Amino acid sequence: MRKTLLLNKDDVHENVQMPELISAIEDAFAAYESGDAQMPPKSYIDLPQYNGDFRSMPAYLDAGDWDAAGIKWVNVHPDNGDKYDLPTVMGTMIYSDPENAFPLALLDGTELTMLRTGAAAAVATDHLAVEDASSMGIIGAGVQSYTQLRAISEVRDIEEVVISDLDEERVADFIDAFEDEFDIRPGSIEEAAGCDVLSTVTPVESPIVPREAVGDHTHINAMGADAEGKHELADEVLLDAKLVIDDHAQTTHSGEINVPYHEGVLTDDDIYGAIGDIVLGNLDGRTDADGISVFDSTGLAIQDVAAAHVAYEHAFENDNGYAFDLLGLAE
């Protein structure tokens, strides 16, 4: 096939089934830690005149049975909603054949990001949460919260869900979406933090999760921090936890640990290790001696490439997407 496949949001959603995506993201973490991936640092183009920026995230990974390459081009323009009726964040993924560089697909990177972010939290939860975890708290009822619950319920038998957000309408919408599947209710930050698993998906810059609210064996997926200054968890939570990161450079620059790390409150000695090393078996995941655990996730380009691989591989069997002759090579 000498054509490029265009996969929109609905196509990506249909093609990327969560159990397979979780496995692919786990493969990506392993490939990165074993040296079988290339992931240059995320680059930024700042556009202060438009109150926005662009970010480019290229990567290649070899998972053994498959390899994949691509780049995500994503923006953050906070004024888009009010000025242009557009999303604040939009992403486009270019997925290429690593053997010959042919552009196999252009994909909606926004849906891809939401799905792979949930899958990353599920990988960490599978390795770090208690085996019999049955309750989940979520702080922040935005779009990311939905995939957090979808993904994590694939690796743990979640029965009870506590959702916390200042926006009551968003909480109501979240409950409507899941009330037939879970025992779900609104609650405070403290109630959410006491669950077996907690995912935080907020943009705050002052910690909102106090140490005393966190359960003795709670596993926390800290997903909200994606820029310098963002910080959801009290420093005492991080210092008392088995602290696992996705990438040292990214987490210390823009992850949950970025503020206490640069203030010297938290050092490399406080970081247990990378999730990839746990996946590979180089480090233990949850042990009987563990109390709180935290996964600091910044989102890696290898995750986007792995998700694009899954989306593309199922496009033909699902008969979706639009094939077009981008390069003028079709016979």
Q: Report the distance separating Cα 220 and Cα 293, nearest Å.
A: 6
38 is in an annotated binding site: no
Q: Are 104 and 95 in contact (CB under 8 A)?
A: yes
3 is in an annotated binding site: no
Spell out a b/e string for 59-82, using b for 16 or more CB atoms within 10 Å of the CB, else e.
bbbbbeeebbbbbbbbbbbeebee
Number of H helices, E strands in the chain: 12, 16
224 is in an annotated binding site: yes
Q: How many CA atoms lie within 13 A of 242 on its CB side?
A: 24
144 is in an annotated binding site: yes
Q: Report the distance separating Cα 155 and Cα 70, nearest Å.
A: 28
230 is in an annotated binding site: yes
Nearest to 3 by CA among 310, 318, 317, 315: 315
Q: Report the distance separating Cα 37 and Cα 280, nearest Å.
A: 14
Residue 43, C-beta contacts closer than 8 angstroms, at least 6 positions apart: 55, 56
Q: Report the distance separating Cα 198 and Cα 192, nearest Å.
A: 7
Instruction: Please give the positions annotated as active site.
Output: 72
Q: Report the distance separating Cα 59 and Cα 306, nearest Å.
A: 10
> How many other C-beta atoms are found inside a 10 Å radius of the C-beta of residue 102?
15
Q: Are 244 and 296 in contact (CB under 8 A)?
A: yes
The encoded tokens of residue 111 equal 């849906």
Q: Are 213 and 187 in contact (CB under 8 A)?
A: no
226 is in an annotated binding site: yes
**Binding site membership: which residues?**
116, 143-144, 224-226, 230, 297
**Binding site membership for NAD(+): which residues?**
116, 143-144, 224-226, 230, 297
